[in-house]
Structure formats: structure tokens, C-alpha cells
């Protein structure tokens, strides 16, 4: 077990932020779980669990919910941001006002910054150029982590010391944390897989079967890797937990919000209706647009992403899209 007793500020009290806060607190750290909605935080403090996202999982005594950001980060050994990608830049700006200089910063946010379609690392480096930065990604469902079920993730940082320190905070009897120096590849894999999960959900919802799902996952990995390499990621990263592992998990299990979105679209539900049913952020919706545009600008071929984008934003029929993908012209598999 890692050394205990560090103070960790987890910013974001949704399902994943709460699960990571619970995990870190169980490992003996003093955890401040911050959320920007004072009434919701008051409910967490009263119930001593997050009944909306993780019902039945009690908070350890050393986990303290708060809506006071300054209090949360005061004397923190680690700041871990776990907010949706569209809120990431805003939270950084709030941090900048309170702490103009940070020694280190980490996050478990997956996605692109919507304004300029940048990776979270680009946004973080612009706001805190002096900080060592790290990202957590990999095949994880919040409820399973909160329940203490076996899980493995990747911690990536350009600073080996930061990667090891953050991995030590997380690592435990049922939670294995590997380290990597490929911060770009880990981010691309963790964000782009959400688009593929929507496609896999649509394919399954249309009854196209296991063969089609396997094909979509495999070809999805190919195009994620293609984009990741174009952005500077490393090929091996996409064969690991933050690439293949996360992709398989989110494409095949109905705990995945993005897969459920695909199932809903295949069933004829509109996006807003499906969002309400799911009740949480569906990152793949914005990711489909952002990665489609980014791939187009880079000249990278991403046909699955393109078709998911056209379904969501251009009204393309899901059945026609999946059939079109599976009937594309013959080519060598490595292309």
C-alpha cells in the first residue's frame, strides 16, 4: 500500500469524481470532494453518500464534501480535476485566481476542450505552464471502483515522479495503477473511445450482432490509433489500458453512458430524450463533432467517427450509417 496521510482535492462531485474520492479516502488520504452546487454538496454531507450517482456506497470519514474551492485546495498535496470536458477550462480559471502558481495538477477528465478542440493537457499547460501535469485514464466504471471491484488504470505524465506519486495515491489491493509518459496517447484513447461506444450501441440496438460489434471495435481502434499518432501519441499506448482496454469496456457494457446513447438512437429516441433517460453527461456527443473536425483538419481518415457525427448532427439514419460502414470499399486491413 502507498504511504497515507496526503491531502487530495478532488474537483468534481459526479459519479467518477466521487468514486475516485472514495477510493483515495479508503487508502488513508484526507480527501476534499468539491462541487460547485452548494445545495448538492449539502445533500452529500447530510447523506454521507452520493445517492444520485453511487447509491449505497458510504463515504469514509476522511472524505469531506465542500462547495468552497479555496478551502478544498488549501494545502493540498494533489489537485485532481474530475469535471466534464466542457467545464475543464472554467475550473482551471477558477483555480488560477486562487492559486496563480501550481506545482502539480492532474485530471481524470476525458474529452476535448470544445472551444478550440484542444486536449486537456494543452489547456492545462496554457493556464499553468509551470506545473507538472498528469492524466488518469483507462477502463473504469465509477460504481465498480466505488464497490472496490478489481480495476486497472494508466497514469500518464511527462514527469516520472508525478506519475509515480499519483499512481501511489491510487494503487491499492483492488486498484492497480500503471504509469506512462505518453500523455497525448492516453488522452486521445480515453476521449475518442466514447464515439466508438455510440456506434457500437447503435449496431447492437439495430440487431446487427456480435460480428458487427467486433468489427466496429477493431476498426474503431484503428482510427483512434491513426489520429493519436498524428497528434504525437505512441502506438503501444493504444494497445494498452487507455486504448484497447477502455474501448472494449465502453463498447460492450451497458454501464457505459455512450453505449446507452447509441442503443437509444437505434431505438428511434431523440438525443434530448435519450439524455434525460441516461441522466448524466454523454461525452461522446460532443466528442463526435470535435474529433470529426480535428480529423478533417489533420487529414486523418476516421469513417466511424464521421458517420456518428452525421447521425448526431446531420440527421443521418443510424441503420443506413452502420450498413454504409460495413459495406465500404475493400482495402488492406492496415490502411
What amino acid positions are annotated as catalytic residues? 193
d(CA 116, CA 250): 26
Annotate 82-131 with DSSP letters as a single string: -S-HHHHHHHHHHHHHH-SS-SEEEE---SEETTTTEEHHHHHHHH-TTS
What is d(CA 286, CA 291) in angstroms, rounded to the nearest whole number? Answer: 9
DSSP H helices in the chain: 15-26, 38-47, 69-73, 85-98, 120-127, 142-146, 160-170, 183-205, 209-231, 246-252, 257-266, 271-278, 283-298, 303-314, 318-326
Of residues 67, 81, 108, the one with CA closest to residue 11: 81
Judge whether 264 and 197 are in contact, CB under 8 Å: no
| C-alpha cell at position 317 | 439514419
Distance CA(34)–CA(12), nearest Å, equals: 6
Q: What is the spatial distance between Cα 308 and Cα 98, in angstroms, rounded to a whole number?
A: 40
Beta bridge partners of 153: 177
Amino acid at each position: 500500500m502507498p504511504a497515507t496521510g496526503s491531502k487530495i482535492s478532488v474537483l468534481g462531485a459526479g459519479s467518477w469524481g466521487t468514486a475516485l474520492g472514495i477510493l483515495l479516502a479508503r487508502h488513508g488520504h484526507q480527501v476534499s470532494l468539491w462541487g460547485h452546487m452548494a445545495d448538492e454538496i449539502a445533500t452529500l454531507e447530510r447523506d454521507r453518500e452520493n445517492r444520485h450517482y453511487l447509491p449505497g456506497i458510504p463515504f469514509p470519514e476522511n472524505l469531506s464534501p465542500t462547495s468552497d474551492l479555496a478551502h478544498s485546495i488549501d494545502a493540498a498535496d494533489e489537485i485532481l480535476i474530475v469535471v466534464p470536458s466542457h467545464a475543464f477550462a472554467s475550473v482551471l480559471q477558477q483555480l488560477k485566481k486562487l492559486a496563480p502558481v501550481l506545482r502539480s495538477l492532474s485530471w481524470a477528465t476525458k474529452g476535448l476542450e470544445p472551444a478550440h478542440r484542444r486536449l486537456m493537457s494543452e489547456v492545462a499547460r496554457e493556464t499553468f505552464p509551470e506545473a507538472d501535469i498528469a492524466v488518469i485514464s483507462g477502463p473504469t466504471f465509477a460504481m465498480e471502483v466505488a464497490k472496490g471491484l478489481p480495476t486497472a488504470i494508466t497514469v500518464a505524465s511527462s514527469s516520472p515522479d508525478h506519475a509515480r506519486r499519483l499512481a501511489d495515491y491510487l494503487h491499492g489491493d483492488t486498484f492497480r495503477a500503471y504509469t506512462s509518459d505518453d500523455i497525448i496517447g492516453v488522452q486521445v484513447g480515453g476521449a475518442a473511445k466514447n464515439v466508438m461506444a455510440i456506434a457500437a450501441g447503435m449496431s447492437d440496438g439495430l440487431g446487427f450482432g456480435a460480428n458487427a460489434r467486433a468489427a466496429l471495435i477493431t476498426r474503431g481502434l484503428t482510427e483512434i490509433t491513426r489520429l493519436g499518432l498524428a497528434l504525437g501519441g505512441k502506438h503501444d499506448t493504444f494497445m494498452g489500458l487507455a486504448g484497447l482496454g477502455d474501448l472494449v469496456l465502453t463498447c460492450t457494457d451497458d454501464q457505459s453512458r455512450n453505449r446507452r446513447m447509441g442503443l437509444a438512437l437505434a431505438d428511434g429516441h431523440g438525443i434530448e430524450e435519450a439524455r434525460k433517460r441516461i441522466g448524466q453527461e454523454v461525452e461522446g456527443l460532443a466528442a463526435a463533432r470535435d474529433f470529426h473536425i480535428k480529423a478533417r483538419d489533420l487529414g486523418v481518415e476516421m469513417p466511424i467517427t464521421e458517420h456518428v457525427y452525421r447521425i448526431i448532427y446531420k440527421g443521418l439514419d443510424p441503420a443506413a450509417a452502420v450498413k454504409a460502414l460495413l459495406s465500404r470499399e475493400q482495402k488492406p486491413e492496415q490502411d
